[in-house]
Amino acid sequence: MQYSNPVIPGFYPDPSICRVGDDYYLVTSSFEYFPGVPLFHSKDLVNWRQIGHCLMTERQLPLANAGSSGGIYAPTIRHHDGWFYVVTTNVSGIGNFYVRSEQPEGPWSDPVPVMQEGIDPSLFFDEDGRVYFQYACYGSIYQCEIDISTGSMLTESTLIWEGTGGAYPEAPHLYKVNGLYYLMISEGGTEYGHMATIARSDSPYGPYSPCPHNPILSHRSLNSSIHATGHADLVQAHDGSWWAVFLGIRPVSYPFRHHLGRETFLAPVSWTADGWPIIGEGGRIEPLMEAPKLPEVRWPLKATRDDFDEPTMGFDWIFMRNPAPESWSLHESPGNLVLRGNKTSLDDAGAPAFVGRRLCHLSCSIAALLNYEPERDGEEAGLTVYMNARYHYDLAVKLKEGRKVIVFRRTVGSLRTESVLDCPAGSVILKLEARPEWFAFSVQPDQSDELELGSGESHLLSTEVAGGFTGVIVAMYALCETGHGSPARFDWFDYNPVF
Ligand code: 6LW
């Protein structure tokens, strides 16, 4: 049986995985979005369901100072002695820290800081009870021992490997196999030169001897629909087979540009006769690959419509930074998500009234029913296809010089275009058709014909143009320059992948 890559599509980069019995858990980076560090569960490594987030409170994840692509960088998840540990970095806050929980669904603890600079922290629990903390800093990989009950450092940090000469050695993970310590990292930068490399030693502190088959994973200079593979983590399945999760991208158009962000991929790991792990076929992976020989467990398909009838938001929904409590409500108008604009706009590095989900498919149909009668001039509410504060396409209902209008706006760096149509009173359905190379916007006012507003190229919202580490988010939003805007009632939100 085959499976298709990515196994977790959409902006879910820097994956880390651990196994407890026949259960697999996986976390990814989340940057300026809240809640942080999405947590996934699988029984077969192919079918994943999100079961929550590890950072659910502002105390765990203060993001007020996080710019675009700030906040939470790469996490690592490990399980030891009955506890789950997730270690990560808030680059816009306390730096390196971990949270822990006895159940993967939480509650997760308050942050335990590790007073060590750098990014991409990882944990290794050795058989003698020692706990090692690895991280990337100053272009090398460092390690110290820590007291896992307090996060305090028990030894000085020492440089343990500088990689094979690629730029930016990062994403370290340490494994012990047949009595040897294997240190896997990524090099070459997270773009088209990305690769995973590995070295081994008979001591956790090295010296580490590099694998003669490095890189053990890379799509650099390959003719493939998948690029930038790297930032990998290894797991031994409960049937004894080895697998790797790692990030990759799926560029569209030429020159290569990708807008979904870095996604999570899976590939088998084989061991060479001289005891080295190789990911995929000689480091190359495919969109379709042989599935693990584990009992397949599929999860219930997600509903394509969210009616906002539940008391809490589903796990797919994320906010931009820590949301202002008064900017959103599921209780003000039962059966609706109500947004009230504040003074923060989509162009600001703040916390606008914004509830979004990752765009996980190159082709999909998205729509939302909006009841909104703006009373303050300049206030608006609608949908945005958002890469970051300087690159987004918006479709909104707005009060403009006393008239209720529909606005279609494209913000591409310093360039901005805007088209306006009169909007009849009453509700409107805001529509977005996403295809690999473009986004098309239209509205369906109540009792009226659909009106096409325009389209925008996807490559203008791509990482190669917009920069950063995230991927496109489709969000409902509201803004009001005077603060506390009129209620924007979103009755439902549809997300229908087009295959
Ligand atoms: C991540 C690091 C990286 O921490 O980017 O480019 C950072 N490589 O591994 C954010 O994904």
Residue nearest atom 8 of ligand 1, based on CA coordinates: 190
**Nearest Cα residue to 229 out of 269, 183, 191, 182:** 191
Residues near 183 by beta carbon (within 8 Å), at least 6 away in sequence: 134, 141, 160, 161, 172, 173, 174, 198, 199, 200, 201, 206, 208
State residue 464 phi and psi, 5-degree precision.
-65, -25
- Residue 185 in any domain: the answer is yes
Number of compact structural domains in the chain: 2
Cα 48 to ligand 1 centre (Å):
23
Pick left, alpha or beta for residue 179 (phi over 0 → left; psi -120 to 50 → alpha; otherwise beta): left
- Which of 237, 259, 290 terminates a domain? The answer is 290
Given ligand 1 and candidates 170, 245, 264, which is best to mutate, with the most ligand atoms within 8 Å of its CB? 170
Predicted pLDDT at 338: 98
- Residue 68 in any domain: the answer is yes
Ligand 1 contact, 374 CB (< 6 A): no
Burial class (CB in 10 A: 0-12, 13-18, 19+), 158: exposed
Q: Is the pLDDT of residue 448 over 90?
A: no
Length of the chain: 499
Distance between CA atoms of residues 298 and 421, nearest Å: 45
- Which of 256, 290, 324 terminates a domain? The answer is 290
- pLDDT average, residue stretch 248-264: 95
Distance between CA atoms of residues 432 and 441, nearest Å: 5
Residues near 446 by beta carbon (within 8 Å), at least 6 away in sequence: 424, 426, 427, 428
Distance between CA atoms of residues 353 and 426, nearest Å: 22
Burial pattern 83-115, b for ≥16 Cβ within 10 A else e, equals ebbbbbbbbbbebbbbbbbeebebebbebbbbe
Distance between CA atoms of residues 192 and 248, nearest Å: 9
Q: Is the pLDDT of residue 466 over 90?
A: yes
* Percent above pLDDT 90 for the chain: 98
Ligand 1 contact, 91 CB (< 6 A): no
- CB of 297 closer than 8 Å to CB of 48: no
**Nearest Cα residue to 286 out of 265, 257, 317:** 265
Q: Is the pLDDT of residue 84 over 90?
A: yes
Domain identity same for 53 and 90: yes
Residue type, 445: P
Distance between CA atoms of residues 394 and 384, nearest Å: 4
Domain identity same for 224 and 328: no
- Residue 298 in any domain: the answer is no
Ligand 1 contact, 394 CB (< 6 A): no
Domain identity same for 369 and 258: no
**Nearest Cα residue to 277 out of 164, 165, 179, 200:** 200
- Residue 12 in any domain: the answer is yes
pLDDT tens, residue by residue, 154-167: 999 999 999 999 99
Domain identity same for 244 and 173: yes
What H or E segment, with its residue span, contains residue 335?
Answer: none
Distance between CA atoms of residues 340 and 324, nearest Å: 10
pLDDT band at 257 (very low <50, low <70, confident <90, very high): very high
Ligand 1 contact, 120 CB (< 6 A): yes
CATH label of the domain that carries residue 353 = 2.60.120.200
Active-site residue flag, 14 = yes
Distance between CA atoms of residues 463 and 251, nearest Å: 10
Domain identity same for 114 and 38: yes
- Residue 400 in any domain: the answer is yes
Dihedral through CA 465, CA 468, CA 470, CA 472, nearest 10?
Answer: -30
pLDDT band at 254 (very low <50, low <70, confident <90, very high): confident
Q: Which of 44, 170, 306, 379 is catalytic?
A: 170
Domain identity same for 120 and 240: yes
Cα 301 to ligand 1 centre (Å):
31
Q: Is the pLDDT of residue 387 over 90?
A: yes
Ligand 1 contact, 185 CB (< 6 A): no
- Residue 374 in any domain: the answer is yes
Predicted pLDDT at 425: 86
Domain identity same for 317 and 257: no
Given ligand 1 and candidates 119, 197, 229, 463, which is best to mutate, with the most ligand atoms within 8 Å of its CB? 119
- CB of 99 closer than 8 Å to CB of 151: no
- Residue 297 in any domain: the answer is no
Predicted pLDDT at 363: 98
Q: Is the pLDDT of residue 249 over 90?
A: yes
Distance between CA atoms of residues 397 and 380, nearest Å: 5
Residues near 238 by beta carbon (within 8 Å), at least 6 away in sequence: 19, 21, 22, 294
pLDDT tens, residue by residue, 342-379: 999 999 999 999 999 999 999 999 999 999 999 999 99
Task: Tell me the two tokens of residue 199.
Answer: 């070295």
* Angle (CA) 284 229 242, round 5°: 60
Predicted pLDDT at 327: 97
Pick left, alpha or beta for residue 7 (phi over 0 → left; psi -120 to 50 → alpha; otherwise beta): alpha
Residue with tokens 């229908």: 496
Mean pLDDT taken over the chain: 97
- Which of 290, 321, 354 terminates a domain? The answer is 290
Ligand 1 contact, 171 CB (< 6 A): yes
Full residue range of the structural domain in which residue 314 is found: 305-497
- pLDDT average, residue stretch 180-201: 98
Domain identity same for 247 and 336: no
**Nearest Cα residue to 438 out of 421, 405, 460:** 460
Domain identity same for 314 and 277: no
- CB of 189 closer than 8 Å to CB of 167: yes
**Nearest Cα residue to 462 out of 385, 356, 396:** 385
Domain identity same for 79 and 161: yes
**Nearest Cα residue to 429 out of 438, 442, 439, 420:** 442
- Residue 300 in any domain: the answer is no
Domain identity same for 261 and 311: no
Model pTM above 0.95: yes
Predicted pLDDT at 72: 98
Radius of gyration of the chain (CA): 23
Domain identity same for 64 and 198: yes
Ligand 1 contact, 231 CB (< 6 A): yes
Residue type, 195: M
Predicted pLDDT at 447: 83
Predicted pLDDT at 438: 98
Distance between CA atoms of residues 227 and 247, nearest Å: 9
Distance between CA atoms of residues 193 and 102, nearest Å: 38
Q: Is the pLDDT of residue 253 over 90?
A: no
CATH label of the domain that carries residue 155 = 2.115.10.20
Task: Tell me the two tokens of residue 200.
Answer: 């081994």
Predicted pLDDT at 484: 85
pLDDT band at 89 (very low <50, low <70, confident <90, very high): very high
Diameter of the chain measured on Cα atoms: 75
- pLDDT average, residue stretch 283-307: 96
Task: Tell me the two tokens of residue 421.
Answer: 């149509």
Cα 170 to ligand 1 centre (Å):
7
For residue 134, what are the CA distances in angstroms to 114, 246, 324, 336? 11, 18, 36, 46
